[in-house]
Structure 1
Amino acid sequence: MLLLLIIAGFQTSSAALSFFIYLIRKYPRVQKKTEIKLKNNENNQNLTMVRLYWLIYLDAIINEVLRFTSPSIGTNRKLMADYHLP
């Protein structure tokens, strides 16, 4: 998912990263858990694409930020009818 952010373009990427920073600062518990996951680094390895792939919590946060806020114009969703969860 992180690679998708990098490839998608700089404006949408910068908007998504801005939303990410804003929202992670808004929820300190999530920020702390993310820091712990990132610092849980065996043998002080550098962050590689393979290691980023296995950071499932970070991927979930990025997906939630993209779901919650739209980084590009014109992708707003509007509910056309009432929906009730079963």
Structure 2
Amino acid sequence: VFQGRYVSKIIENNYYNLIVNRYIHLNPVKDKLALTPKDYRWSSYRTYLGEEKSDLVEEKEILDYFGGERSLYNKFIMRFVQDFK
């Protein structure tokens, strides 16, 4: 949080968008704030799983990588959760 001035960048590469999404959802797990991305209270991860609705999250672009299958997206993320245990 206190690593200098906030910077925002436009993500123009679709694959990089997926990588950034994964990074954001895994950060609470990496920092030991939650056991899984789903457990982190302020995460949009549950929206991507279809468990919550949000007017702030447009999950279609990310889910399109997985043929719209939320379960495949979940498997993709959870594969990396093991790296932080």
| Same-fold status (TM-score > 0.5) | no
**TM-score normalised according to structure 2 size:** 0.27
Q: Under a length normalisation based on structure 1, what TM-score does the superposition of the two structures give?
A: 0.26
The structure with more helix, counted as a fraction of residues = 1
Greater relative CO (CA pairs within 8 A, separation 6+):
1
